Structure 1
Amino acid sequence: MTVLLPEQLDEQIGELATQMHTSKNRLMVAAAQMLVESYARRAPVDRMVDGVLKRDMSLLARLEDA
């Protein structure tokens, strides 16, 4: 896979990789993994909140009017 990054971001990733004594590839893999794990943790919570909001929509509307 090829990822085309804006030049400034590519430079920042290169600098960070140097500071962390790792490759840009390993840094990008770690960042992608963090994104996937973050989404996996957040998705169930978002679904639950959506369900509560749908279920309690009329109650929330009445509270707004109070």
Structure 2
Amino acid sequence: MTVRIPPELDARLDALASARHVSKHALVLQAIESLTARNERRDDILAAVDFVRTHDAELLERLADA
């Protein structure tokens, strides 16, 4: 895979990698891992909310009417 990074973003990536004493490659991998983990977590939360809404719909209705 080839990733083309705009020069200004590449400069920011260089600075951040230097400040953290890691390679740009390692920094990009960390960012991808963080992004995918956040997305998976969001999907898990939305699935849990949907489950509660359907599984406990009657209870939620009674609570709303109380």
Report the TM range for the smaller structure's normalisation: 0.5 to 0.7
**Deviation sequence 1:1-58 (CA, Å, 0-9, x none):** 1111111111100100001111000000000000010001001223455x45xx8xxx
Alignment of structure 1 residues 1-66 onto 2, 5 Å:
1-47=1-47, 51=50, 52=53
Unaligned ranges ≥5, structure 1: 56-66
Paired residue secondary structure (1:22): coil
In structure 2, distance between residues paired with 1:10 and 1:30: 16
Unaligned ranges ≥5, structure 2: 58-66
Runs ≥4 residues deviating over 4 A: none
Give the number of aligned pairs: 56
What is the percent sequence identity of the aligned residues?
33
Taking only aligned residues, the RMSD between alpha carbons, in angstroms, comes to 2.3
